Structures are given as structure tokens and as C-alpha cells.
Structure 1
Amino acid sequence: MKTTTKKFPMMTLAVAVAASIALTGVSGYFVLQPGNSEEILQNSAQGKGTADDDTSRGDAQKTVEYTLVGENTTLEIAPGVRVEAWTYNGTIPGPVLRATEGDRVVLHFINKTPMSHTIHLHGDHDEKDDGVFQVVKPGETYTYDFIAGPPGALMYHCHVMPVTQHIRMGLYGALIVDPKEGLSPAREYVLVAGEYDTKDQVTNNPEYVFFNGYADQYWDHPLEVKTNETVRVYYVNMGASPAYGFHIHGTIFDAYASGIWENTPMKVQTWEVAAGNGAIFEAKWPWEGRYLFHLHGLPEEKGTMAYFNVTNAPTSAVDGVDIAKTKSINMIGWQEDLARKLQKQDASGTPSVDASLSESPHGGHQMMDGVNGNNGKEANKKVEAGSAVPVQTNTVVMPKGAAADDSKSFEPSSITVNAGTTVTWRNDDNTFHIVASKAEGVFASDLISQKKTFEHTFAEQGTYDYYCSLHPWMTGTVNVK
């Protein structure tokens, strides 16, 4: 629990975008120009703290710097089950980001995938650091720069539509902000609930529900706790399912609603956490034993069965190393090492179940322009009969399901118009799209929502190739005579 009941003041947010990232406004939408990825990669992927001499940043205590790299790979999510994954730094979830309230957080994102992605951060920050409209295209970089707050268990994830698919493929992680006043001693763990379905990543009934990217991993590798020692769990729910209850056996435990330290804790037997929300749990046991924790309901049968292994500390136990009496013990590094070991990251690996080749309409995405896909495999893109033959029309449709099915594209994909014609693109899909020319600066829409349109008048003859920058397998051509 907190060492004080003081209410936390709202932080004054000061935001600066790193000078190495150039932002160019196009129709109110930010298009990112490539930054120096190699220079950014020199920063620690686990974070780097430095003294902050910039007094213009108000209450900032220090600067904490992180680098997240978007990578497509394959991972194991259960024994013998290898799947395609979209990741931050090669694991599901991405690394835990941690700072203290008032710290300046500088977060570099390098997108090395064949798709557009973002990092949406929960917490207090302005729109430039919210990770929605500033879409980071393949091969480009973006720097988020914000003041950490409020204190609690927060999260980050990709916010490119369909968001459920981008999250389930692995683009998410935990963001922990510690209160300036400090915390009472505890043994600390992080649990990030996630989901995966090998046939349909936007189903409402996923095959796997798990903690930290691997089914039932804390059954074979239980979380160690000592008797009468407080265990603190930072829990965030990155699933898309209903709000299942988080249950701990053998104790009535404290829960901080929404994972915010400012909230008054409640004594609970089970605590419901909805998708996109969090909680902080604190528990202790005076008895040795194995005490289960899991999500009550269907998820406990799909990969969330786990337990705390509670044992007596030896008389020679070192405070802060073997037992948390007056000093906390951070177990998060151990958890991240275990996840890497179990997931066996392999960018060239072969999935045991290849969702991208299944009969489901929600297969994995391939790289644009007919080049190789996520894992070096030849693109399995379907082409509609006659789609390469230009059609005389000035209307193009984004069909329903195109955002989740890489066999679908603009309809028709190639059109012919006369110079001076205005072409209209209509979104019949159930999510957002963007229409952007492949040649920089010719034309680009803002986010096009359902049943909305975008228009562009072609004044000069020529061939204009374009694509959806959110779903780059969607490509098209306008031939102007």
C-alpha cells in the first residue's frame, strides 16, 4: 500500500517531440519521415534514466528513455503452439515501462514491420503523444515525450484499426508509474492479460487467454512469495473479452480500482477488470501453501491457471533480496526473462498453426506491393479476377471486411478517368481507412470512418498508385487520360 494518503495533484504536462523526427501535416494527418533508427537503437530497450537539467519542464524529476522496436516474428504461446506475432521488442507483451510520477519519459518507436503501427499510452498526455493520429509507417520512427502520470498500473498498445487484431497479435505492454512519495515494501509482479486465436483474431471467443503471453506459464513456474510478506500485483487487461473477475485463493485482498494509486483500496474476494482497464492487488498469507490465482469463468480453462507458492523465509533471509520486510523486491525482470525463454522468439520460424493461410476471413497481413510477407514467406495475396483491368469509373469502394482480410482491396483496384475528374472513395468497411498516394504529397485523406467518403480531383494526366496506410495490402491505381 502507499506510504501516505495524500491526494496526487494533476501534473502540468509539457510535451516536446524530438528534433530528429520530422512531422509534415497532410490534410490534418501527420505523416512521419524516417528518423535515424540506428542512433535511436543505441538507447536501452529497458530504459535509461538521466538527470534532467531542462528547468522548463516544470516538475520533471529526471528523464527516463526507452526504445520500442516493432518487429514481426513467431513465438510460442503454449507448449508446441508457435504463432505469428507482431511485437514490441520481440515478445508478448512488450517490455514493462516504468517511471516515477513527474519524470519526463522519452519513448522512441521504430517500426520495422511491413505495416503501420502506433503506441497508444494510457495516462495524462496531449494528443501528439496519444498514439492514434500519428501513424508510424513501415521503416519510420516516432518519439513520444511526456510527463509520467498519474501513478498506477497503466498500459500501452497499438491503436491502428482494427485495434483488437493489432493488440491480439501482440502489440501491447504495461506502463507503471510510481508515486513520488514511494510505496511500502512488497514483492512486485506484473500480469498482463492477453488473448490469441489461431483462426480468427477478431472473434469474441478466443482460443487462448493468458498472462504475459504464454498459457498457464505460472502453473509450471509459480510466483514465489514468503509468509507474511506483501505481494503486489500490477494487473492490466489487454484482452477484448468481457470483464472477467481476477480471483486469488486463500485471502481477501486489497484492490485499487482502475490501477490508480489515488483510489481508496477495497477488500475483495474477486475483482472485475474490463478490457483496457487495470488494477493493483496486494495480498499476504500467514500460512505456507500453494494459492491459486486466475480469471474466473471461461478464461481459467484457456490459459490463466496459476498459483503463488508461499513458503517461510529462512532465518538468514536478506531483506530486500530474499524477503520484502523493509525493502521491496522487483520480480518483473524474472518474469520477462521467463517469457523470453518460453516464447522462443524466431523471426524465421514456421507457425504450427498458420492463421494467415486458414479459411478464416481474418488471416494475417502480408507486406504491400507483392514482396515477401511477415516471415519471409511468399505473399499469399488473392487477386480478384479482372482486378488488374482498369475500369471506367470515378467511384472506388473500401469493402466490408477489408481491414481484417488481406485478400480484399479497393473495388475496383484500377480505374481510368479523364483529366479534371473528381474521384470519390467510399468506406463500406466497419472500421477506419486512409487513402494516400504512394508518391509523397500528391494526395492523402484523413481517417475515413464508416460510410464516409474522400474526394480528390486529378488535374493532370498520369498513373497514380495509392494504398491504405493503415492496411497496406490494400492498393489501387488511378489512370488519368
Structure 2
Amino acid sequence: MSFKIHNLIYTIKFIKKSRLLVLPSIIFFTVVMLITSLSIANTNLIDRDAFAQGGNQTLPSANTNSSGNILTSTSLSNASTSKINNDTNAAIPASLVKEASTITNSSNKQITLITEDVEIDIAPGKRVKAWTYNGTVPGPTIRLAEGENLTIKYINKSPIPHTIHFHGNHDDVNDGVIPQIMPGQTYLYNITGEPAGALMYHCHAPPTSLHIRMGMYGALIVDPIDKHRVAPAKEFVMVMGEYSLKDQMGFDADYYIINGYANQYVHNPLQIKQDDLIRIYLINLGTTIPASFHLHSTTFLTYPSGLWDNLPIHSQTVSVAPGDASIVEAKWKYPGTYFFHTHGIQEEKGNMGKIEVVDQDSKSKGLDTEVYNNNNTTTFSNLQQSDNISEPLTKSESSFDWQYELQKKLQNPKVIAQFQNKGIDKEEKKIIKEMDETLVATNITETNNANFNLTSNNNTESTHDKKNIENDSNQISIVSGSSNPDSTIFYDPSYTEVQLGTEVTWINNDDNVPHTVTSGNSDAGPTGVFESGIIIGDSSLFKHTFDKKGEYDYYCTLHPWMTSKITVK
């Protein structure tokens, strides 16, 4: 009995002591867990709150400005799916409109981009031909909020096929590779703004590098839906491009231009206040070498690949590869005028500009823009960057409109070619066909023309001896230079006759240029009898066995002037 009582007393004492130990333990572990959870929750915020030189970069208020879309947009009740319309002047049919996918931003907009061939100035005294979106190089900047839905009505008024390829997240029908939008056609692209950052758009018709260098590109800016992530700044967009006066497919360019005109910001400096943050959406749409962007007299923050989700790094120069981007944020400790440029050969060939950092006590004088064009100076008082440059920024302020108006004044675009008809010009096809038939009838072998490949893989004799002859090799070559509409021979042989049950092989010998072999014609479209898909220009093959008699027209959907015929006996 005494033993049990003793144990009971011991147990009670132990419990009392344990309570004294448990309470501090609970408090200690609670504090540790709270600190850990707060640390995890704020990791991204702490990492992103990095500072440019001369710092004090604070987070903005909830109403950070996301304006700056210099394209007129119209609200739509629903988003349009991607469709082709051969009438360039037609309104969007109601049948092409369906309910949009679930998005985080309910806004739906529509803009129009038109491809036209124009003449523009890219430097004083240098007027060149360009392929454009809406008449300028680069095309107008498109700006969206993250999750915002946009329908782009694309009209091709040029003589050759083009597309619009958007960087970012979207499905294949909006990817801008297939279909190629033929002369006279209209196509509806539909995209959602994602991910947030500095993206881009450009033509993806082959050869893509040629279409880009000729001017078919522009900026696509997507603002993050969480606006607290972005500090108030004076915002500019800079699209790096190239232009060659003689050989657009050559490696070296004659001009490395920013926003389509050489050294335009040397004579028309960007202007910011000393204590304000500058934000540059930097996009490289050159085709060959990186743009190693550098600001004088300051270091700066860069968001890799131009995406807000990436943690910024502290930079002295940022290298942006072709097809990539960066977001640059900077401040200067001292007022003054500072250069910016791409480090290297580009800065000697048009890639140079200035930034005027205005003292905090200075007042805005309504600084006018001096436009240097064709060796003349013209002042445009209506091209002021800002009326409140002396006021501190409380929200982001876009200069996109000022930049685009300056660009248009400098380039002075004039349309030189439009395609008004539906489909492909029948008269052009008739002339090409007659030229082919003349070559066949007179047994001409153009061995001295580097653009043509008129020899079969199996012999060295001309394969254009007769029209509708028996093709013993059953091989048809897509010849070098076929992507050029001025060529007179696209397929070798141009016309072929085979026996029922013959397997015919097409070989793409047009180096580095993709083609298709598609039954049908460019006016009526594919018939579905045979379709190669894209054949890369590396001697890739497509084969089809003909099991029915008849005449089969075929063409290249990427280059619809390329037409031919097979007769099956």
C-alpha cells in the first residue's frame, strides 16, 4: 500500500514539472514555425526588391499604370478563333466567334495588323524597301495585361505569303507557322497575354531570317497582373534590328538599328528625372549576333529573358541573343547626358543613343523633338516626351506613343506594293506556265543560272526535253531558288506522266528552304489526295503512290506560285 502511495506522489510531482517544461517548448517551436513561414512567403519579394545604382527603388501602389498600347483596340464580348478569310475588307463573321477559354483577365480586345511593302528611311539619305506590319519597322507595340485576351485581325496586302508568330504561350493554330497567309487573305489570331514580360512577334514565313530582316517584327509587352511587383518607372521599348543594303541573307548587316532608324536617340535623347527609375523593354530581333546592351555611368538591374518571373541580376552590360529579351531598370546618381548602345561593331553602325538625366530642381520646358531625316532637321513641337518630367513618378509612365510617333516621322513610310485580289494572281501564274512550256518546247538547259537546278539525280541531261514524257526515275526535284517567285522553274521536271501504280518521289534540293507538295491549287486549296507536310531543304523526301488515273495539280502551300502537274495513265 505504501509503495502505491509513493508512486502516486512521484507521478503527480513529475506531471507538475513536465508542465513547466512543455509550455516553453510550445512557445519556442511556435516562434520558429512562424519565422520560417514568413521567410518562405516573402522570399520572392525580398529577392525581387533589388536596387539599381543610387537605389531607393520601392514597390508601387496598386494602380501602377499598364497603358502604352499604341494600337487601337476594340472590346469584344467573345474571343475569335483563328480562321482564314479571303476578303481583306470583310468584317469578322459572327460564325467565327465563339466563347473564349477561361482566363484570369476578362478583357477581350481586337486589333488589326496589315502587311504592306513600303519604302522607309532607316538613316539620313538611306531609303530602302521593307516588308512591314502597319507600314513601319518595327511594327506597332502590342501591350496587354497578364491573362488578357486579344484577337489580331491580320490582313496580307503584300504580293507573297506571310504570318505572325507570337512569343509566349498559345496553341498551334495561333503559332504563326501554318497556315501561311496568302496574298489577299485575312486571318484571325487569338492569344492570351502570358507570361508577363518583354515578348515579341515576327513573321515566320520561310526563310524566316529574310522576313525578319526585311522588317516584319515588333514588341509584345505583357504587364504582370500583380502590379505590386513592378516599381514606378519611366518606360521605353527598344527593339534591336538589322538591315543589309545588298544581301539580306548575309551574316554582316550594314545597319544595326534601334526601333527602325539609325542613331535616332542620339538626336532625340530619352529623358528622365534624376531620382526616377528608367525601365527599358529590350528586345533583340536581329538574326545573327547578340546585342550586348550597355548604359554609361551606371550599373543596372536586368530580368533575364525579359520575364518578370525571373529574379533580377545586377549588370554592367546585358547580352541578349537574337529572339530573346531583357527588362532593364536603372538610375543615375548624377544629372547629365549619358550614352547607351550595343557593345561592339553594332554601335558603329547605327546602334547608339543618349539619355538625358534632368536635375530634380529643373522644370520641364516642353522639350521639342528634332527629327533628323535625309540630312535635314525638322522640329516637331507635338512630339514631347512628357509635360511633367520635373514631377516625381508615383506610377509607371509609358513613352511608347512618343517613340512610335518619332519612328513614323523619321521613317516616312510610303506603300509601294499592295495585293488587292483574292488568292494568287492568275495572270502571273499564266505567264510562269507559258515560260515553262517554252523552255520545254525548245529544249533549253539553263546550266549557267545559279538559281536553277535542272539536272536529274540519275543523269546529267536536261529533264525538260518534253512535256508529259515518261519519267523513268520517278523522281521530281524541288529546285534551288524555288522560293523566289521570279524563278521560271520550281519543280524538275515541271510536268510528268507516270503509269498507274507508280510511286513518285519528291526531293527538296532548295537549300535551307522548307516546301510542301500538296495536291490542289492555291485558288481552290488542297484536295486531300496527297500532302507532304513541311519538307526541309536538306534533300528530304516525300513519296506518294498513284492508284487512280487522272491529272493531279499540285503546289507548295508555303510558296503558292510553285505549281505543277502529274498525269497518271
Pick the TM interval, shorter chain.
Answer: 0.7 to 0.9
CA apart distance, 1:465: 4.1
2:512 pairs with 419, 427, 430, which one?
A: 430
CA distance in 2, matches of 1:368, 1:434: 20
CA apart distance, 1:461: 5.9
Match of 2:491, SS state, is: coil
CA distance in 2, matches of 1:271, 1:207: 23
Q: Provide Cα deviations, 1:73-102, integer angstroms capped at 9, x if missing partner.
A: 222222222222111111111110101111
CA apart distance, 1:134: 2.9
The equivalent of 2:476 in structure 1 is 396
CA apart distance, 1:147: 2.1
The residue type equivalent to 1:322 in the other structure is N
- CA-atom RMSD in angstroms: 3.2
Once the two structures are overlaid, the 10-residue window that deviates more, 149-158 or 59-68, is 59-68
Match of 1:337, SS state, is: helix
CA apart distance, 1:348: 2.8
Match of 1:334, SS state, is: helix
The equivalent of 2:86 in structure 1 is 34
Once the two structures are overlaid, the 10-residue window that deviates more, 465-474 or 233-242, is 465-474
Structure 2 unaligned runs (5+)?
1-56, 61-77, 367-384, 418-423, 446-463
1:301-316 equivalences under 5 Å are 301-312=348-359
The residue type equivalent to 1:336 in the other structure is Y
CA distance in 2, matches of 1:213, 1:40: 32
Alignment pair present for 1:273 and 2:320: yes
**Greater share of helix:** 2
Structure 1 unaligned runs (5+)?
5-15, 23-31, 42-52, 350-366, 373-377
CA apart distance, 1:392: 3.5
Alignment pair present for 1:92 and 2:137: yes
CA distance in 2, matches of 1:198, 1:419: 51
Q: Provide Cα deviations, 1:384-425, integer angstroms capped at 9, x if missing partner.
A: 746695254232112345446843622222333345544322
The residue type equivalent to 2:271 in the other structure is E
Match of 1:102, SS state, is: coil
The residue type equivalent to 1:371 in the other structure is E
CA distance in 2, matches of 1:286, 1:388: 77
Q: Is the 8 A contact 2:88 2:156 kept in 1?
A: no
Change over 3 Å in CA distance of 1:465–1:200 after alignment to 2: farther
CA apart distance, 1:464: 4.4
Alignment pair present for 1:140 and 2:220: no
The equivalent of 1:18 in structure 2 is 80
Number of residue pairs matched?
426
Once the two structures are overlaid, the 10-residue window that deviates more, 295-304 or 384-393, is 384-393
Q: Is the 8 A contact 1:174 1:236 kept in 2?
A: yes
The residue type equivalent to 1:440 in the other structure is G
CA distance in 2, matches of 1:40, 1:216: 41
Q: Provide Cα deviations, 1:327-368, integer angstroms capped at 9, x if missing partner.
A: 32211111111111111111239xxxxxxxxxxxxxxxxx86
Identity of aligned residues (%): 41
CA distance in 2, matches of 1:55, 1:196: 39
CA distance in 2, matches of 1:462, 1:344: 53
Alignment pair present for 1:237 and 2:237: no
CA distance in 2, matches of 1:477, 1:299: 48
1:84-233 equivalences under 5 Å are 84-182=129-227, 183-233=230-280
Once the two structures are overlaid, the 10-residue window that deviates more, 81-90 or 428-437, is 428-437
Q: Provide Cα deviations, 1:205-244, integer angstroms capped at 9, x if missing partner.
A: 1222111111111122222222222111001100112223
Change over 3 Å in CA distance of 1:273–1:171 after alignment to 2: same
Once the two structures are overlaid, the 10-residue window that deviates more, 259-268 or 322-331, is 322-331
Q: Is the 8 A contact 2:103 2:148 kept in 1?
A: no
Change over 3 Å in CA distance of 1:195–1:369 after alignment to 2: farther
The residue type equivalent to 2:543 in the other structure is E
CA distance in 1, matches of 2:250, 2:546: 40
The residue type equivalent to 1:285 in the other structure is W
Larger radius of gyration: 2
Q: Is the 8 A contact 2:204 2:211 kept in 1?
A: yes
Change over 3 Å in CA distance of 1:56–1:109 after alignment to 2: closer
Change over 3 Å in CA distance of 1:253–1:455 after alignment to 2: same
CA apart distance, 1:133: 2.5
TM-score when normalising by structure 1: 0.79
Match of 1:469, SS state, is: coil
Match of 1:128, SS state, is: helix
CA distance in 2, matches of 1:203, 1:36: 34
CA distance in 2, matches of 1:404, 1:175: 30
CA distance in 1, matches of 2:494, 2:361: 70
CA distance in 2, matches of 1:147, 1:2: 29
Change over 3 Å in CA distance of 1:320–1:224 after alignment to 2: closer
Match of 2:407, SS state, is: helix
CA apart distance, 1:197: 1.3
Match of 1:325, SS state, is: coil
Q: Is the 8 A contact 1:187 1:232 kept in 2?
A: yes
Match of 1:340, SS state, is: helix
The equivalent of 1:298 in structure 2 is 345
Match of 1:335, SS state, is: helix
Change over 3 Å in CA distance of 1:392–1:129 after alignment to 2: same
1:441 pairs with 526, 538, 546, which one?
A: 526
Match of 2:409, SS state, is: helix
CA distance in 2, matches of 1:138, 1:144: 17
Match of 2:525, SS state, is: coil
1:252-271 equivalences under 5 Å are 252-271=299-318
Q: Provide Cα deviations, 1:137-176, integer angstroms capped at 9, x if missing partner.
A: 2222222223211110000111122110111111111000
The equivalent of 1:467 in structure 2 is 555
